[in-house]
Structure 1
Amino acid sequence: MQRQRMTSSPIEPRSRVNLRRLADEVGVHPSTVSRALDPTKRHLVADDVADRITTAARQLGYRPNPVAASLRTRRSTLVGVLVPDITNPVFSPIISGIAEILGAEGYSTIVADAGTEFGPRMALIDELIARRVDGLVLATVSRDDPMLEHCLAEGVHVVLVNRADDSDRASSVVSDDVAGMRVAVEHLYQLGHRVIGHLAGPSTLSTGHLRRVGFEQAMQDHGLAVPPAAIVEAASYDRDEGERATARLLQAYPGLTAIAAANDLLALGAYKALAARGLRCPADVSVVGHNDMPLVDMVEPPLTTIRIGPRDMGRDAARLLLERMTGSALPIRRIVLAPDLVFRASTAAPRG
C-alpha cells in the first residue's frame, strides 16, 4: 500500500497594517493618524476624528512600529530604570510609581538590576543609551559617581531616586534622610533608651551618609554618648550584612539597649544576630528600621520603622523626568519627602 505523503503549505503571515493604510481607511493624512495615536499629541486632533482613528486601528489590528517611529521622531518612548538590587522590596513601589506616571504619557520602562559593580553598571548604561532611551531614572548612584557624569556627557536626561548626588548635577527625589534618623532616635529616647547603636549604610551612598549624620545629631541633641563603637557601617544594604554588622556592634558596644538601622533589611539582619545570641527583641534590644518596605509588618515582631513613601518617590521622579524629556528648561531640583515613624512591636521601653 502506497503511503500518501502529506505536505502543508506555509502559513502566510498577516500583512502588517501601516500608518498610511490606516490613514487611507479613515480618510485623513498619515500625520493626523500619528498625532491621534500619540498620547502626548492626541489633544491636537478633534475628538471625533481621534475616536474614528483609534477604532479603525483596533479593528484592523494596527500596531505601531517603534523602530520606525524612533527614527522619524528621534524619540523611542523608552525610559531606563536602574536599581541596585531588584530583590530589595523597597524598589518595587518606586518602580511601580515610575511606570504609572510614564505609562500614562505613552512611555514604556525598561527595568535593569544593575548590581553593585561599577563595570557592569556602566555596560548597562551604554546598552540603554544605544537603545536610544529618552531618559534614565537611577537608584544606583553614589554621592560622587562617574556613571552620572558619563550619562550627562552623553546628553541623556537623568533623574535620581532614593539617591542624591553631592554636587546636585541631576534632579533627584529623596526622603529627608537626616530627619528620618532623628525621628528614629527621638522615638527610642522617649521610650527611655540611652545606650543606642547605629547600623549605618554604606557611606558612599547619600542614604548611608545622611542617615548617619541624622543619628549623630539626634544623639548629641540629647547629650548621649556616641563612641566609635556605637556605629558600625554595613558594606551593603542586605540582611546578611545586617546580621554581620549587628554581631560586630554587640561585641564592640556591650550594654546597648536599642539599635537604629539605616534600612529595613539591615534591621531584619539584626533580628537574626540577636536571636543567635539568645537576645529577644524588644525585651532585650529594641530595633528600628528605615523605609517601611512591604511585609515588615508581617515579621515577628512587626518592625518599627521610618516610612519614606517609595511610590510617591517614583511618581515624583517620573514627573521630573517628563519635564526634562519634553524640553522644559527648569533648574535642577531636589524633591525631599518628609518621613514618618511607624510604631510597631519591635521597640519598647528598656528593662529596668
Structure 2
Amino acid sequence: MVRNKPGRKSTIYDIAKATGSSTSAVSMVLNGTWTRYRIKEDTANRILASAQQLGYNVNMKARGLRLSRSGLAGMILPHYRNRFFAGLAETFEEQARSRGLCPIVVSTQRDPSVEMSVTETLLSQRVEVLFIAGVRDPSPLNALCLAAGVPCINVDLPGADAPSVVSDNRGGACALTEALIDKMIARGASPGELVFLGGVVDEYATDMRIAGFRDAFAARGLRPAAEAVECFGYDASSARQAVARRYETLGRLPDGLLMNSITAFEGLVQFASRLSREDWHSAVVGCFDWDPFAAHLPFEVTMMRQDVERIISEAFALADAHEASASSGHPLVIVPTGFGPMSGEEERTIETA
C-alpha cells in the first residue's frame, strides 16, 4: 500500500477509502469500541493494518479521555464580534461551570486549518465534551472527536456526523419578513422593495433564512423582486457597499431592508449615518440578530433574537445522551426564535439525520 505524500498527515478518510469501510467504522476501530457495534474482527484488523501502513498516528491522550476525567469542556466559535457568538460563549461557560467543568473557549476566525488545529489541541488536553459553533463543515472535526471517544455537538450550523442544535432560521426569518411587510403596507410602501442583504451562499443558516423570507411572500401570494436577495458575507464593510449601491440606483434607501446579521446591520448604520433623518425614516428596517443598543438608534428596527440559553442547554442535553444517539442517528434540535426576550417555554423541534 502506498503512503501519503511527505508532509501530509493521513486521516481516517484515507483509511476508510483504502479499506472500503465507513469513517464511523474506522473511528470505532481506532478508539477501541468496535466490538460494541458488532464490527467483524477481520474488518478491524484490516483497518488497523491500513492505519499502520498509512502512517496514521492516533493521539493516545485524546483516546484516553473516557478513562479518566479531566474536568474540561471545550468550545470553538468563529469570533466574539457579535452578541450572538459572545452570548453563546458566555452561556457555555456559565452552564459548564454549573456542571463542575472548567470551560475553554477558542475563536477560530472561520479558518478550517485553525479549526482543525484547535480541535486537535483541545482533544489532546482531554476535554470531556466539545461544542463546535459556527463551522460550515464540521465533519472533519466530528471525526476527530469520534476517534477520541469525545462527545461533540454542532451548534448554530449543523452537520451529518454529530448531533446538532440550531436556531429556527427559516421560521424566524419568515416571521420577521411578515412583520416588515406589514409595516411597509401600513406606510403605503410596496413589499416588492423589501430586500434581504448578507450571508453566505450554500450556508445552512443563510439558506434557511432566505427560504423563510420567500415563505412570507408566498403566504401572501407575492414574490420578492428578482434582485431582492444579495449574499456578500457577514462583514460590515461589504454590507455598507451593498447598501450604497442600492442607494445610488434608487436615489434613496429601499423601502424595506432585512439585514442577515448584526454585523451586516452595522454596515447599514455606517452608510446611513450620513443621511438625513427623513432618509432614515423612509425605510422599514429589520435584522436577524439582536442587540440592545438598537433601542438607542434614531430610527425603528425590528430584530429577531436567537435563544442562546436554550441552544446551550439543548447542546449539553445532547452531549449527555451522546452514546444513545450514536446508535439511533444524530438528532437535529431546532430552537425557536423570538422578537423579544426568550421565555424558553416554546416546544423544540427535533429531526433525526
Q: Matched residue of 2:201: which SS?
A: coil
Equivalent residue for 1:136, pick from 127, 130, 154: 130
1:117 aligns with 2:117: no
Give the equivalent residue in structure 2 for 1:304.
302
Give the equivalent residue in structure 1 for 2:268.
270
> How far did residue 312 of structure 1 move?
2.0
> How far did residue 71 of structure 1 move?
8.1
Instruction: Check whether the contact 1:239–1:269 (CA below 8 A) recurs between aligned residues.
Output: yes
Seen in structure 2, the aligned counterparts of structure 1 residues 145 and 204 have a Cα distance that, compared at 3 Å, is: farther
1:239 aligns with 2:236: yes
The percentage of aligned residue pairs carrying the same residue is: 21
Q: Which amino acid aligns with 1:243?
A: R
Instruction: Check whether the contact 1:82–1:113 (CA below 8 A) recurs between aligned residues.
Output: yes
Unaligned stretches of 5+ in structure 1? 1-66, 344-352
CA RMSD in angstroms comes to 2.8
Give the equivalent residue in structure 2 for 1:179.
171
CA distance in 2 between partners of 1:162 and 1:257 (Å)? 30
Q: Matched residue of 1:259: which SS?
A: strand
Q: Matched residue of 2:301: which SS?
A: coil
1:74 aligns with 2:71: no
> How far did residue 87 of structure 1 move?
2.2
Give the equivalent residue in structure 2 for 1:288.
286
Give the equivalent residue in structure 1 for 2:94.
100
Q: Which has the larger radius of gyration?
A: 1
Unaligned stretches of 5+ in structure 2? 1-60, 342-353
Seen in structure 2, the aligned counterparts of structure 1 residues 281 and 83 have a Cα distance that, compared at 3 Å, is: farther
CA distance in 1 between partners of 2:140 and 2:87 (Å)? 27
> How far did residue 111 of structure 1 move?
0.4
Larger displacement relative to structure 2 (175-184 or 193-202)? 193-202
Q: How does 1:16-165 map to 2 (within 5 A)?
A: 73-142=67-136, 145-165=139-159
Q: TM-score, normalised by structure 1?
A: 0.68
CA distance in 2 between partners of 1:175 and 1:208 (Å)? 12
Q: Which amino acid aligns with 2:273?
A: A
Ranked by relative contact order (alpha carbons within 8 Å, sequence separation 6 or more), the top structure is: 1
CA distance in 2 between partners of 1:112 and 1:281 (Å)? 41
Larger displacement relative to structure 2 (208-217 or 155-164)? 155-164
> How far did residue 109 of structure 1 move?
0.9
CA distance in 2 between partners of 1:245 and 1:148 (Å)? 36
Q: TM-score, normalised by structure 2?
A: 0.68
Q: Which amino acid aligns with 1:246?
A: V
CA distance in 2 between partners of 1:103 and 1:214 (Å)? 36
1:198 aligns with 2:196: yes
CA distance in 1 between partners of 2:89 and 2:288 (Å)? 19
> How far did residue 183 of structure 1 move?
0.7
Give the equivalent residue in structure 2 for 1:223.
221
> How far did residue 262 of structure 1 move?
1.4
CA distance in 1 between partners of 2:289 and 2:199 (Å)? 13
Seen in structure 2, the aligned counterparts of structure 1 residues 101 and 113 have a Cα distance that, compared at 3 Å, is: same
Q: Matched residue of 2:86: which SS?
A: helix
Q: How many residues align?
A: 270
Q: Matched residue of 1:134: which SS?
A: coil
Give the equivalent residue in structure 1 for 2:257.
259
> How far did residue 78 of structure 1 move?
1.0
> How far did residue 205 of structure 1 move?
2.8
CA distance in 2 between partners of 1:183 and 1:264 (Å)? 17
> How far did residue 251 of structure 1 move?
4.7
> How far did residue 303 of structure 1 move?
3.3
CA distance in 2 between partners of 1:83 and 1:128 (Å)? 13
CA deviations 1:124-149 (Å, max 9, x no partner) are 11111111111210112215754444
CA distance in 2 between partners of 1:245 and 1:287 (Å)? 15
CA distance in 2 between partners of 1:212 and 1:284 (Å)? 24
> How far did residue 176 of structure 1 move?
0.8
Q: Which amino acid aligns with 1:99?
A: E
Instruction: Check whether the contact 2:155–2:315 (CA below 8 A) recurs between aligned residues.
Output: yes
Larger displacement relative to structure 2 (152-161 or 81-90)? 152-161
Q: Matched residue of 1:319: which SS?
A: helix
Identify the structure with the greater helix proportion: 2
CA deviations 1:276-311 (Å, max 9, x no partner) are 455756512121011223533334435320122112
CA deviations 1:174-231 (Å, max 9, x no partner) are 2110011111111111121412000131124321111111112222332333334211
CA distance in 2 between partners of 1:112 and 1:206 (Å)? 22
Instruction: Check whether the contact 1:162–1:173 (CA below 8 A) recurs between aligned residues.
Output: yes
> How far did residue 254 of structure 1 move?
7.0
